[in-house]
Chain A
Amino acid sequence: MDFDLSDDDRSLADGMRRLCTGRFPLEQLRRSEGRRSLDRAGWSVLAEAGVFSLRLAPSAGGAGLGTAQASVVFEELGRALVPGPVAATHVAAAMVEGAATGERTVGLLPRPGWGGPGGGPSLPAMVGDLGSLDCLLVVDGDAVELVETGELDGEPVEGLDPLTPMWFVAEIPRGAAVGAAAAAEAIWRDHLVLSGALLVGMAASTSDMAVEYAKVRQQFDRPIGAFQAVKHMCADMLVRTELCRAAVHAAAVAVDQPEVGDSVRAAAGAAMLAAQAADANARACIQVYGGMGFTWEVPAHLYLTRARVISQFLGSSGALADVVAGRF
């Protein structure tokens, strides 16, 4: 048993962080605020870096790595707020031709009204990045269906997250069945784990931002981080981050090593905690920044709204808690 990150895991994370700060720096992402289409060149860069194909076997063009390694990579994507359906396209890689190579962009939705694990939102559905999606995987307890986006009648709306354009969709048609119940469960579970990893990175990022600011912002002749009210908020941010990171990594390992425990319970619990941490840390970050935190300029709100976008498709805290409770 060695649950620490290995040296390889660490260099994978470092490499992904370098790629993100080099190719997707936040100042540059922010220049496309309000955009309605995905940066396809950037998407290809992610594909070339192996973001979508990481877990495929080398014979299928992948790196043959595990979900644990994927979670390390996705934490960095979350930290950098890299836009687009990265987790959905990754879990679709083995099922949808062209997803792994970045040629096809794939979204993922729970079948509206499905009350199963996670219990997704009901109709009318909101679909992010619809204009740039090639197809959608629609999952419920029985099957995975592939819906071509041409068949969807979507109405563009102004999105809450300035980096995720939104479409309002009144109806999700049935699609071609591409997987049965077991595949549906695995896709749903892996999507929870990788979305959880994105949210861990976001929670870590707002925690870092708040701590840095608390060290430099001076009031009453001292850094605000010397005041316990601020200090304790920061400590709680770290606790939330560390807990959900350990939970997401354990869920990822449970996917790779089924003998160590119930991966569905682990995935649902980890995604729930990560969603809560990303939300709570973004809120605390806004508060630590004071008036600056309420400005468009400080990116804390981007983390707040992105967390909402991601967690909306994982199911409510209550629905995820139900999954854990049933299996505890």
Chain B
Amino acid sequence: MDLRYSQSEEAFRAELRSWLAEVVPVLPPRPSPHDWPARRAFDTAWQKMLYDAGYAGIDWPVQGGGRGASPVEQLVYLEELERAHAPYVGVNFVGLLHAGPTIVVEGTPEQRARFLPPILRGDEVWCQGFSEPDAGSDLASLRTRAVRHGDDYVVTGTKIWTSHAEVADCCELLVRTSDEGPKHKGITWLIMPMDAPGIEIRPLRTISGSSEFAELFLDGVRVPVANRVGAENDGWRVTMVTLSFERGTAFVGELLETMELLRRLKVSARRSGAWDEGEVRHRVGQMGAELDALWALARRNISQATRTGVPGTGASVFKLAFSELRQRVAQLGMDLLGPAGLSTDELPSADGGEPLGNGALVELWLNAFNRTIAAGTSQIQRNIVAERILGLPKA
């Protein structure tokens, strides 16, 4: 067990740190979280900068156009980005963390050549069309149908909770191509161009008031057969590949951000005097210890992934614990705000100094509720942990 970084890892860190110190301070101001076209422009411009500097697709293999960094270098990368307050992946999430890696592993050479470079350069944004109104946790029961017509699939159905759909160019789409046999044996993984005729996008308003995700109505949308990733009816296996990426290192950046948030809450509690209450200190200490433990667990998972080549089952344990902890940290933030948490407009601080940051904190608190739902609910994660790790019987 060694927590020291090697010389080459430290060299990578130093190079990245000096690049970030140069570029992050001169980035344009962050757009409003509700202005999606502006968010797309900001996030993709940042992706282009990463690309030009050689940091795009840090975790993608070299043959996919990525940097092929080791899992430990990915960790250093996330640590340094957080340290420099660099932008997050934002609208590039699905392309960089789901669709891209899936195409690297499962795509044809033509698909890799067509779809991977635009993701890395920030030219194309992806969304994920998996969930349906009647197929959420039970994803395999999805019903959006694709029927083969010559060189196309003709797709009809409804998708829901599609994040960033309004600004996406491509959609990783799961469709039903067979009703025979077990339901997960009749699913196919397609790349759907978002400008194809027959797609209607209806934004959905979230509890924080933003239009984070949308409903997609697909009416006879033609998707070329050449856009099929993996064999027909083999989409479930391809999906499992995608989801294993989602539950890997995806949350590490957010963990580090949450640590930073807790430190900020400590500073403001000190300023307001709330720190003198034992209860506030105990909550900070308890959550601080849990964040430290999760950071240790993340490094353990990454060390094991280095050894075995794939993210291990520890990722479910991490996701489960972290998503609930994030909500508790946000809750402490709200409790410290007190009445100021009743306003989503920024308020001046009591001593007339810096603004309180109450608006951002309220939004963070509301958004934290989605962490135990998105990417597999906490109940589903507990089923996974119990059945796949502990070997308990299925219901």
Interface residues of chain A, those whose CB is within 8 Å of chain B, are: 1-6, 9, 68, 211, 214-215, 222-223, 225-228, 231-232, 234-236, 238-239, 242-244, 246-247, 249-250, 252-254, 257, 259-261, 265-266, 268-270, 272-273, 317-318, 320-326, 328
A contact residues around B292 at 8 Å (CB)? 247, 250, 265-266, 269-270, 324
Stretch at the interface among B86-94, B235-243, B386-394: B386-394
CB distance from A308 to the nearest CB of B (A): 19
Q: Does B58 contact A (CB under 8 A)?
A: no
Q: Does B9 contact A (CB under 8 A)?
A: yes
Is B321 a contact partner of A243 (Cβ separation < 8 A)?
Answer: yes
| Chain B residue at minimal CB-CB distance from A225 | B392
A contact residues around B385 at 8 Å (CB)? 235, 238-239
The docked-state distance in angstroms from the alpha carbon of A242 to that of B381 is: 15
Is A235 a contact partner of B263 (Cβ separation < 8 A)?
Answer: no
Is A4 a contact partner of B317 (Cβ separation < 8 A)?
Answer: no
| Chain A residue at minimal CB-CB distance from B285 | A321
| Interface class of chain B by DSSP | helix
The docked-state distance in angstroms from the alpha carbon of A254 to that of B1 is: 10
Contact of B393 (CB < 8 Å), options: A226, A321, A324: A226
CB distance from B11 to the nearest CB of A (A): 14
Best-buried of B262, B292, B320, B389 by chain A (most CB within 10 Å): B292
| Chain A residue at minimal CB-CB distance from B75 | A1
A-B contact pairs, 27 of them (CB 8 A): A3-B2, A68-B1, A211-B392, A215-B391, A231-B382, A231-B386, A231-B392, A238-B386, A243-B290, A243-B294, A243-B297, A243-B317, A246-B293, A246-B297, A247-B296, A250-B293, A252-B1, A269-B289, A269-B290, A272-B289, A317-B286, A322-B278, A324-B284, A324-B286, A324-B292, A325-B285, A326-B281
CB distance from A11 to the nearest CB of B (A): 14
Is A328 a contact partner of B300 (Cβ separation < 8 A)?
Answer: no
Give the number of residues in B that approach A within 8 Å (Cβ atoms): 53
CB distance from A218 to the nearest CB of B (A): 11
The docked-state distance in angstroms from the alpha carbon of A260 to that of B295 is: 13
Is B289 a contact partner of A273 (Cβ separation < 8 A)?
Answer: yes
B contact residues around A268 at 8 Å (CB)? 289
The docked-state distance in angstroms from the alpha carbon of A2 to that of B71 is: 11
Is B307 a contact partner of A4 (Cβ separation < 8 A)?
Answer: yes
Is B284 a contact partner of A235 (Cβ separation < 8 A)?
Answer: no
B contact residues around A320 at 8 Å (CB)? 285, 289
Is A322 a contact partner of B320 (Cβ separation < 8 A)?
Answer: no
B contact residues around A325 at 8 Å (CB)? 266, 281-282, 284-285, 288
A contact residues around B4 at 8 Å (CB)? 1, 257, 259-260
Is B393 a contact partner of A215 (Cβ separation < 8 A)?
Answer: yes
A contact residues around B382 at 8 Å (CB)? 228, 231-232, 235-236
Best-buried of A5, A225, A320 by chain B (most CB within 10 Å): A225
Best-buried of A2, A253, A323 by chain B (most CB within 10 Å): A2
Interface residues of chain B, those whose CB is within 8 Å of chain A, are: 1-6, 9, 72, 75, 262-263, 266, 278, 281-286, 288-290, 292-297, 299-300, 302-304, 306-307, 314, 317, 320-321, 379, 381-383, 385-387, 389-395
Is B300 a contact partner of A235 (Cβ separation < 8 A)?
Answer: no
The docked-state distance in angstroms from the alpha carbon of A238 to that of B317 is: 8
CB distance from B287 to the nearest CB of A (A): 9
The docked-state distance in angstroms from the alpha carbon of A254 to that of B284 is: 21
Q: Given contacts A211-B392, A226-B394, A323-B285, are A273 and B293 in contact (CB under 8 A)?
A: yes
B contact residues around A227 at 8 Å (CB)? 395
User: How many interface contacts (CB-CB < 8 Å) are there between A and B?
Assistant: 182
B contact residues around A321 at 8 Å (CB)? 281-286, 288-289
The docked-state distance in angstroms from the alpha carbon of A265 to that of B295 is: 14
Is A243 a contact partner of B293 (Cβ separation < 8 A)?
Answer: yes
B contact residues around A4 at 8 Å (CB)? 1, 300, 303-304, 306-307
Is B2 a contact partner of A242 (Cβ separation < 8 A)?
Answer: no
Is A322 a contact partner of B1 (Cβ separation < 8 A)?
Answer: no
Contact of A3 (CB < 8 Å), options: B266, B284, B300: B300
CB distance from B319 to the nearest CB of A (A): 10
Is A270 a contact partner of B289 (Cβ separation < 8 A)?
Answer: yes
B contact residues around A222 at 8 Å (CB)? 393
B contact residues around A265 at 8 Å (CB)? 288, 292
The docked-state distance in angstroms from the alpha carbon of A325 to that of B286 is: 8
B contact residues around A317 at 8 Å (CB)? 282, 286
| Chain B residue at minimal CB-CB distance from A271 | B289
The docked-state distance in angstroms from the alpha carbon of A321 to that of B283 is: 8
| Chain A residue at minimal CB-CB distance from B389 | A238
Contact of A322 (CB < 8 Å), options: B2, B285, B386: B285
Q: Given contacts A4-B304, A6-B1, are A239 and B293 in contact (CB under 8 A)?
A: no
B contact residues around A243 at 8 Å (CB)? 290, 293-294, 297, 317, 321
Is A1 a contact partner of B299 (Cβ separation < 8 A)?
Answer: yes
CB distance from B34 to the nearest CB of A (A): 33
Is A223 a contact partner of B393 (Cβ separation < 8 A)?
Answer: yes
A contact residues around B389 at 8 Å (CB)? 238
A contact residues around B379 at 8 Å (CB)? 228, 232
B contact residues around A226 at 8 Å (CB)? 392-395
Q: Given contacts A226-B392, A266-B292, are A328 and B263 in contact (CB under 8 A)?
A: yes
Contact of A242 (CB < 8 Å), options: B284, B290, B314: B314
A contact residues around B394 at 8 Å (CB)? 226
B contact residues around A323 at 8 Å (CB)? 285
The docked-state distance in angstroms from the alpha carbon of A101 to that of B391 is: 42
Is B303 a contact partner of A3 (Cβ separation < 8 A)?
Answer: yes
Is A328 a contact partner of B262 (Cβ separation < 8 A)?
Answer: yes
| Chain A residue at minimal CB-CB distance from B279 | A318
Best-buried of A5, A252, A266, A328 by chain B (most CB within 10 Å): A328
